[in-house]
Structure 1
């Protein structure tokens, strides 16, 4: 991958140079972390210590003030190095970016939380539940909260809590019956009653350790009731593009592996390497075309968030970016595995991990059917 082609800003140049210094180390750990479903603690610690977790925090709060476009390009590159590390840290970057861009919390709470982030705090939203399925479908959470004299008491179980064992903070959705609304509550990991279920056992994105978050009579102060779902109207969220960015990187890694393999693999049944075969060349050309198409669409969508284009365009292109990257990325990995052949299934080679990790992305928001439906509604002027 030609990293010089990625760089458009000083932030991108700085972080691609930094990531280049540790890419071999991150890649070397990826196989073990995947096999053992082991969270990449050392990778995340390096990112925190180097300040990567301040990337999307605005400069006014002491962060780097990266744009959506900066984040997308850097997360694409990190995803090509280690998908599980990139997806894990991407949730934190996305939450921080949206919180501060849209000023979703009270000013004092935003100030306090910025200080925590500068000291190494890691956050993710905990919104999925077994009973409701994907939160993007709008189901009411079974997790509930009740008001008590000195705050709130929270009970429930959240699924797919990515980076669960590495997080310091969770933004938890819960139904608040007293106001018949879904609220969001800031929960720190060391609050009594907070437990990690240690039950993540998936074939893809194993190293994210996205265990269930169990909340048993978790007592919270009043100020930790930070949001009400839908308050202030729904706004386009470019920071969610961290998801397709990571999977674009994984597809790029599969392409790179297949190309390197084609340049060096020389069975004794042919002259030269398999890269000299017309069939392999056709497949490489198709892989590259699919990647170019997905990359340019995703990056141009991210660039929209640096200007004042219409919200409708932002909504549609954000949804389409995820669908396009996933579908074309899966095809890229399939072609890469066909080029490498049966060897692509060897556990010692990364292609089988790229395939399994890429499949996991189908179940990250937005879901394909929801994306198409929402795009259709906007085209039909249903909004």
Structure 2
């Protein structure tokens, strides 16, 4: 009987059960991950499985029938699910982190939130925020949405085109950011699909090919007054930056899971692959062992970074707004380390890893997507530089 590998980040029996649960799901979706990667089709069967097994209610509050798992626990399950299929893990992750964020910040009217929670628990309805636009660029850099909300009798008429709308094929409702024309403000609205909401199948990328991140076109979509969920200004809680954006740690957890899958694959390959020229398995070749050692350093340091930050954040609730630098740093470090891990694995595997039917080729393409999630590398570097310099300037100012 195989001995289960010790994981220092599993702290108790509950986390052990969650880890095993996610691993079982990962092994099932892994069987067809390559099929959806090749076609670019949305993996509805994966989400049917996740719905049946209760994965879609993991972060929903207990008061509405969910499991209310913590941020730390979310990272544990997502890292493991991504070992089976990065695309599915990334896509479902937006749903998980949305409820994780909303249950903490509570920026909306409670009856609206309750209704969406109930839909997720009882019907498996998914939720995501669709914010990006091709025309405007990265709104995280301070842009104003080109999607316009115009006041009309009983509500608003909304028009615009959103991009990178992960889960688009499966969403019945989602939220967007739009420019409130008569108030000169940006607001978040709840959109329910109808004949004026069109999914444009534009997602055809090198990696994360089955996330269903298509464009969504809104053509004079009427929404009632209550669909305006919150105004993103100083008078309302901005859930997107609340709590140091710690909920976004779910994203690097996914890319770390992909890297972990590459690591496991190449270790098995190295101890099994016989080299005639060497006269033994390649795991005993010095330059192969060097690359494996580098992979271990990158993987272990990334995991320690991820879980240490999550644990510190959860254990210091009075300082949840003080971890912004650490959260951004983790995203930068882990996503870039993940790329390097897969690159090293491919160097060990050799030219065969470049083949379209090789698992590492898919993992290599998927992991390239990590740095493109906000905050991008340059933003993280600038943020940490600004933070460090501001602290020094403030300190000097106090001593003058």
Same fold per superposition (TM over 0.5): yes
Structure-1 residue corresponding to 2:380: 371
Contact 1:11–1:70, Cα closer than 8 Å, also in 2 = no
Q: Distance in 1 between matches of 2:361 and 2:178?
A: 38
Residue correspondence of structure 1 range 75-114 to structure 2 within 5 A: 75-114=78-117
Structure-1 residue corresponding to 2:54: 51
Task: Pick one of 346, 358, 365 that aligns with 1:349.
Answer: 358
**Residue 315 of structure 2: SS of its match in structure 1?**
coil
Contact 1:157–1:213, Cα closer than 8 Å, also in 2 = yes
Structure 1 stretches of 4+ with a deviation exceeding 4 A read 3-6
Structure-2 residue corresponding to 1:199: 202
Q: Distance in 2 between matches of 1:109 and 1:311?
A: 26
Task: Pick one of 113, 116, 130 that aligns with 2:134.
Answer: 130
Q: Does 1:251 align with 2:253?
A: no
Report how far residue 3 of structure 1 moved. 6.6
- 29-38 or 105-114: which moved more? 105-114
Report how far residue 209 of structure 1 moved. 1.7
Q: Distance in 2 between matches of 1:103 and 1:117?
A: 17
Report how far residue 139 of structure 1 moved. 0.4
Structure-2 residue corresponding to 1:238: 246
Report how far residue 323 of structure 1 moved. 0.2
Q: Does 1:174 align with 2:183?
A: no
Task: Pick one of 340, 345, 368 that aligns with 1:359.
Answer: 368
Contact 1:192–1:219, Cα closer than 8 Å, also in 2 = no
Q: Distance in 2 between matches of 1:114 and 1:168?
A: 14
Task: Pick one of 287, 292, 299 that aligns with 1:279.
Answer: 287
Q: Distance in 2 between matches of 1:9 and 1:151?
A: 49
RMSD (Å), alpha carbons:
1.7
Q: Distance in 1 between matches of 2:322 and 2:228?
A: 33
Report how far residue 349 of structure 1 moved. 1.3
Report how far residue 377 of structure 1 moved. 2.4
CA 1:293–1:188: 2 relative to 1, 3 Å:
same
Task: Pick one of 270, 274, 278 that aligns with 1:266.
Answer: 274
CA 1:207–1:162: 2 relative to 1, 3 Å:
same
Contact 2:28–2:84, Cα closer than 8 Å, also in 1 = no
Which structure 1 residue ranges, 5 or more long, are not aligned?
none
Contact 2:26–2:80, Cα closer than 8 Å, also in 1 = no
Report how far residue 312 of structure 1 moved. 5.9
Contact 2:188–2:231, Cα closer than 8 Å, also in 1 = yes
- 117-126 or 230-239: which moved more? 230-239
Aligned length, in residue pairs = 382
Q: Distance in 2 between matches of 1:364 and 1:20?
A: 25
Which structure 2 residue ranges, 5 or more long, are not aligned?
395-400
Q: Deviations over 1:131-184 (max 9, x none)?
A: 222221120010011111121111010010111102222111100011111111
Q: Distance in 2 between matches of 1:270 and 1:115?
A: 61
Q: Distance in 1 between matches of 2:360 and 2:212?
A: 21
Q: Deviations over 1:244-274 (max 9, x none)?
A: 0000000111111111110111132221110
Contact 2:313–2:319, Cα closer than 8 Å, also in 1 = no
TM-score (norm 1): 0.95
Q: Distance in 1 between matches of 2:285 and 2:352?
A: 18
Q: Distance in 2 between matches of 1:158 and 1:125?
A: 10
Q: Distance in 2 between matches of 1:91 and 1:9?
A: 26
Q: Distance in 2 between matches of 1:333 and 1:151?
A: 50
Task: Pick one of 228, 232, 239 that aligns with 2:231.
Answer: 228
